[in-house]
Structure 1
């Protein structure tokens, strides 16, 4: 333990230091502490003396004695937070960024005040504040301990930052009539392109508001050189400084221009090299000026217009050594700082257009979010904006897309209109947090609507709300304050906010932003730190076990039997060690913090036979009456797409239940916890279709065609009335998953990716292919059906009776009802997927991917037309089900050969 180690080192160092003349100047030894460099290359302060050195895992066997710069309790807290979030707070201290310092200072002050209030609470008040029980299902927002609602409680977070401007004269941006311009002097890093003859290099720059290009991009002249390219010229944009919107961003693309001779005609080919973005105004609302160095990014998303990436991060690349450095100069338009005026300074008189309501407007307002608006339609919407407010308040996103953001008069009118716009439902307001709506007042309005969410509803959409933090250009924003406040008022929300943020800390573009929010959460929720710390340490242990297994399988690759025996034995030996047993026992499950994982049942633990060797960990759970509980730990697989799909399945289940249709969905737990690592909940008493079929036949090739296997398995598990109930459970769940997998375009549906519980519930697992990305081999699609509906499924639904058309008719009716319910909420599904576009999921990278949802839900068609389309898909699934059986047969044969 560190305590005994420190005791020895302190006394040893004291004895050695006494022989030196300046020993008295060291002061008391309590004024010093040890630190080391841990495995994450982070300076870790070793304050927690109850930990063991093996848990710290220093990178090298060296400790450094440093002077305490503050109180012991404060240093201990800083150390714990740094270890917990995976980023030492000294790294944030070292950042020469005033915005970071201001944000941390404000959050520190707010957190300190909050923790002082917590210390004065009674036990029951603290329970209510942390866990916010809902007195009535579906009630309003939870209350705080002071009896005020969350909207009132959040006001305490809205601390206005005052800048001392007594000696500074500022000018409103709306008084500057010069055209926007910049001078450029990019440095083009040689390692990024390897060519025999240095290419010509150009820079393109564009001003954007969201995805809207405010004016024509500016392009530099061509420059050649080997390591540096210097232009020393001014790029001018066709927009006045006074018309720049508050959230305007300047986007750059560096690209090579090479001549290519084709059919004796010389053509120019552009090869992208790097891109980078920066805001035009800083976080204080002041127009940026002077020399700026921007370190660029080299990974380009698909389908970029003009090679510019406005949806990309405004953070510069932290890996500066290998990044293209772009040197620019933003001119001074005035001897005094230029500020964007606050709302109360916009003296714009609003008057109604006086034009009558057009029927055409209703048709435009009812379109889905992916529908494009032409210029005439935008003009109509803007002209009739008051009619929109009175008759179609939920059409606010379309009105925002119709604003001329390059005209400050229109911006001012829109911002004033927002003050009287009716509040939207939280589900409708989610769309306003998309990248297309960057205006500060719009996003504050959207967050105001979200305050009406119950904790349960907020948890449902938390995944998207964390992702859209990427769209926030400044650290201190309404969404950040809202999430922090709700997380600190409810332990369950805080738990998942922590893991959603921490799981992406390895991403350079969000590392600083997410670490700042995590630090703020921890400082305002100090009692939660130890609980989360226990989970982080447990996951670290599981990762060590997984790496041990991978190493063992590589060494014993020649003998599969020997490999399995030796590796499993090594795994169990490792789990029995006291260090592992203590760390992995008595912790709250990251998948569900209300579940306490008491102790590991080592004998039932194993690893799974797939490439990344996932761990199957079984817990004895005292709170479940002695029943076991299983979790799967994956290291090397990105679980975020599975997490998104399961979230949408959970939402579908909620929408169906709201319409009094319970389709017995099993949205099991799934949580990404780090870089390509995470946990999956094991659904109890369930087996795969493949295993059910293989146990009923001695020949793997024939197993897939045994239509009685599934029904016989259910009969073994259930008897009498229980069998009839199990068949009803199967019918309902099969209908739900048929519709859900069709709407979401879920592929790779082999017989090991579909499971059945002994109670009859069918459910799907493993969502590596969504939105119509079906697998193919040799250019031939292996999956030809819109969803899985095989004859053995129908055999169960019809209770084994071929002519039982009544049961099959009920099943088909369930499917049609479920489909129409999802159609009515089509805009919500499109919004949720659109908010995940920058998450970096492999099959969700552009708006074109979301187009699949629009087609599968037949948005833009009438209910009758959509139902006709779905019935055709249903008949196709039945007619082509033989192809599914052939795929399953091939899968079973391969699986049998592997074993």
Structure 2
């Protein structure tokens, strides 16, 4: 459903900004009476109902209404969906109906349960908590919702084993029939104005391509339909056959489709360029599982609604890594009708594995293969070697399980049975090693269950460290009820802090159609298991909604003249002083850190997106000041990932007894292009420090004494020596971290220093080597920022202080070698985020940058030589950084 228009969406908040305390509302009564009256926009629904009841006494048929408690209001919300307002403690300005119309309806029984449903629905951002169940055609949503909420395993009655075995021994190679429109019983056509445009140019033909995949592995040659030249509906009635026996299909096999237009041979020959885009037109795609959630081979007719956006450079034009959910926006989606044949009168069920046996040999070549990074490709001979020596792998390289899994022939049932037997006796992996098994390349449910068993050894702090990735890999789960979902729910219910961040990681992506049902079910399950947490989270959601409304109004009303700006600021403060805003924004647990209780004031920053700067007192820590930035219009998920990795680097260095004083400040995406950022106290940007020390903006960047003098002003005596040591350690940490992660756009407003000496970087919009350029010329030529004014501080202002600089260089090299030892972990964490939709992390090629920067595949001596060359390059080319900083200061003087 498209969002409401901005002017209608902001009706309620705007009236508050303008000082309008009353709103004219139309009330529709079940007696057929219509009443129009003004009500306070800040009133609760319960109070409004009392006002209405008093007014209704003066109208006819009042006696037919009965008891007031037997009624509740209904409205049309901003998603154009009927919403019952069971929770009468909500304020009208928070409900914000699409139009100021409230309908009085008779309340059904089970009020307590309905109030809980209403609260959960509002909390997870979807109105009625049962919207997913009642509106979804798949009965699995209803089924698994009950399983998740009841925290019990689904019960499945299997067909008799003899029947199952007989079915799977049949050598059948036909998977399904593909129809664009069935000739019998066609679905109702869409109204002409809503039908998606189908424009097929003359000389183009439509085809369907289908492939069977296990993870990203193509199980057999794809099948292609015949060509159709129709200009509207396309009907093939074509059976697509795959060269694989049903008994060899892996449990997690998925069937991937792509529909595309092909040029005819004559037109193709006349074309001057035979490129991918020249040969094919727009490619709708869709995926589905071959087995359903019960392990039964699918049968019968299915309608799949395709997705239109298609990633580039995918094998066979198919998108196996894409979601198996069909497009929920059915009115504008291409429909693909397929039919899975009936193989028998009995369901074909994937059988339990028999335990296999293997021999034990040892080859020294195995060690070299197993020590490779996760991005390294295995040739067929190496895969055969690993599979042959699988028991040696178990004994000597248990952490190599991912490489063994990549060596399994998933199209052979015998190999799958052998693997299942091996998994029963495989040693537990460390949680860090087990994370890789949740990647898309390992879809087998037994493998993923094994991974979750290993994750159970995680402490709460360690789980929080990797929770961002664990939420993202839920996208790879084909069925809602899985070991990972249950694991996350169990840990969230046993730890309020884990529950807090699980809630926000899930809710922040509820706007994405491909995951909204799955994430909503988990959110609902968590809320019902932790009812006391609902009110706390609900207040956070309401606070963010109010901040977003204020932010939108500021952006809409911003005028550059100072007088108007002052007027707008006063209007904003008037809005924030209203009772509803004060109550919602006070005594609020911080979404960034639930251990902080907030109460404070707000201002907005003069930048493009008009972020709000909120200053709070932390009531739980003796009133210390806490500042938070609310951003509306920026995607913070890439910043979240980068800061998580910085936090991990800090942890790994500390585990090796190296504390580099990293400042991984808090950052949390809370919705579609909105979120919160922690403000680090007592800190200023390099740009501001330089500008305050110079009368000319152009010369500010070249004043090498500015930074050291600033630290001297903030510290004296022994405190200055400590501040310089803090600066030295933190500068080393961020030099290595920004080099390894390929962090770009490092101007002087993106690097800050605390008064205690800690240097830290902010704003991570460019990572993995995506450095900014202008007119095709790279603006950033250095591998990391190490300017002469930084060295001036490190050397305590003494040019000949080589000992201090030598210590700094030693810190950098030690830090780099520690990260290299954990290179596989970094690659795994980025790989698990590939389908998150981050702008600069879309394919394995992006992760290749990490492999190169960490020099994986080289010896420590070779890697250290490479890093030293980069270090010298950063020193040699630091003048280019100064030139860029000068240009930035001149362009941004204020």
How high is the TM-score relative to the length of structure 1? 0.90
Q: Does 1:50 align with 2:50?
A: no
Count of aligned pairs: 832
Structure 1 stretch 251-260 or stretch 805-814: which is displaced more?
Answer: 251-260
User: Compared with structure 1, are the counterparts of its residues 583 and 827 closer, same or farther at alpha carbon in structure 2 (3 Å cutoff)?
Assistant: same
Structure 2 unaligned segments of length 5 or more: list them.
1-43, 183-189
- Deviation string, structure 1 residues 467-500 (Cα, Å, up to 9, x no partner): 0000000000000000000000000000000000
Aligned to 1:146: none
Q: Measure the CA separation in 2 of the matches of 1:763 and 1:265.
A: 53
Q: 1:369 aligns with which of 354, 364, 374?
A: 374
User: Compared with structure 1, are the counterparts of its residues 266 and 61 closer, same or farther at alpha carbon in structure 2 (3 Å cutoff)?
Assistant: closer
Q: 1:332 aligns with which of 342, 345, 348?
A: 342
User: Compared with structure 1, are the counterparts of its residues 264 and 36 closer, same or farther at alpha carbon in structure 2 (3 Å cutoff)?
Assistant: closer
State the secondary structure of the residue aligned to 1:679.
strand
Q: Does 1:585 align with 2:586?
A: yes
Q: 1:407 aligns with which of 408, 412, 415?
A: 412
Structure 1 stretch 619-628 or stretch 247-256: which is displaced more?
Answer: 619-628
Q: CA deviation at 1:62?
A: 1.9
Aligned to 2:38: none
Q: CA deviation at 1:654?
A: 0.1
1:648-663 correspondence to structure 2 within 5 Å: 648-663=645-660
Q: Measure the CA separation in 1 of the matches of 2:203 and 2:582.
A: 60
- Deviation string, structure 1 residues 401-455 (Cα, Å, up to 9, x no partner): 0000001111011011100000000000000000000000000000000000000
Q: Does 1:9 align with 2:10?
A: no
Q: 2:777 aligns with which of 776, 780, 786?
A: 780
Aligned to 1:503: 508
Is the 1:187–1:227 contact (alpha carbons within 8 Å) kept by the matching residues of 2?
no
Q: Measure the CA separation in 1 of the matches of 2:704 and 2:167.
A: 74
- Deviation string, structure 1 residues 751-799 (Cα, Å, up to 9, x no partner): 0000000000000000000000000000000000000000000000000
Q: Measure the CA separation in 2 of the matches of 1:172 and 1:743.
A: 55
Q: Measure the CA separation in 2 of the matches of 1:511 and 1:615.
A: 28
Q: 1:282 aligns with which of 264, 274, 292?
A: 292
Q: Measure the CA separation in 1 of the matches of 2:155 and 2:103.
A: 38
Is the 2:210–2:255 contact (alpha carbons within 8 Å) kept by the matching residues of 1?
yes
Q: 1:308 aligns with which of 318, 333, 345?
A: 318
State the secondary structure of the residue aligned to 1:202.
strand
Q: 2:102 aligns with which of 49, 63, 75?
A: 63
Aligned to 2:526: 521
Q: Measure the CA separation in 2 of the matches of 1:99 and 1:590.
A: 33
State the secondary structure of the residue aligned to 1:398.
helix
Q: Does 1:103 align with 2:144?
A: yes
Aligned to 2:694: 697
User: Compared with structure 1, are the counterparts of its residues 821 and 690 closer, same or farther at alpha carbon in structure 2 (3 Å cutoff)?
Assistant: same
User: Compared with structure 1, are the counterparts of its residues 203 and 729 closer, same or farther at alpha carbon in structure 2 (3 Å cutoff)?
Assistant: same
Q: Measure the CA separation in 1 of the matches of 2:477 and 2:448.
A: 9
Q: Measure the CA separation in 2 of the matches of 1:853 and 1:389.
A: 28
Aligned to 1:351: 357
Aligned to 1:36: 75
Q: Measure the CA separation in 2 of the matches of 1:686 and 1:266.
A: 56
User: Compared with structure 1, are the counterparts of its residues 714 and 294 closer, same or farther at alpha carbon in structure 2 (3 Å cutoff)?
Assistant: same
Aligned to 2:24: none
Q: 2:327 aligns with which of 317, 320, 325?
A: 317
1:479-490 correspondence to structure 2 within 5 Å: 479-490=484-495
Aligned to 2:125: 86
Q: 1:184 aligns with which of 178, 181, 197?
A: 178
Is the 1:172–1:339 contact (alpha carbons within 8 Å) kept by the matching residues of 2?
no
Q: CA deviation at 1:4?
A: 1.8
Q: Does 1:756 align with 2:753?
A: yes
RMSD of Structure 2 on Structure 1 (CA): 2.0
Q: Measure the CA separation in 1 of the matches of 2:581 and 2:48.
A: 20
Aligned to 1:257: 262
Is the 1:201–1:257 contact (alpha carbons within 8 Å) kept by the matching residues of 2?
yes
Q: 1:824 aligns with which of 814, 821, 825?
A: 821
User: Compared with structure 1, are the counterparts of its residues 730 and 752 closer, same or farther at alpha carbon in structure 2 (3 Å cutoff)?
Assistant: same
User: Compared with structure 1, are the counterparts of its residues 64 and 702 closer, same or farther at alpha carbon in structure 2 (3 Å cutoff)?
Assistant: same
1:652-731 correspondence to structure 2 within 5 Å: 652-731=649-728
State the secondary structure of the residue aligned to 2:595.
coil
Q: CA deviation at 1:627?
A: 2.8
Aligned to 1:124: none
1:255-654 correspondence to structure 2 within 5 Å: 255-259=260-264, 260-261=267-268, 269-341=279-351, 343=352, 346-348=353-355, 350-354=356-360, 356-553=361-558, 556-557=559-560, 559=561, 561-597=562-598, 599-601=599-601, 605-654=602-651
User: Compared with structure 1, are the counterparts of its residues 180 and 69 closer, same or farther at alpha carbon in structure 2 (3 Å cutoff)?
Assistant: farther
Q: Measure the CA separation in 1 of the matches of 2:49 and 2:441.
A: 55
Q: CA deviation at 1:98?
A: 1.5
State the secondary structure of the residue aligned to 1:842.
coil
Is the 1:169–1:337 contact (alpha carbons within 8 Å) kept by the matching residues of 2?
no
Q: CA deviation at 1:106?
A: 1.9
Structure 1 unaligned segments of length 5 or more: list them.
111-157
Q: CA deviation at 1:890?
A: 0.1
Q: CA deviation at 1:303?
A: 1.5
Q: CA deviation at 1:595?
A: 0.4
Q: Measure the CA separation in 2 of the matches of 1:279 and 1:161.
A: 20
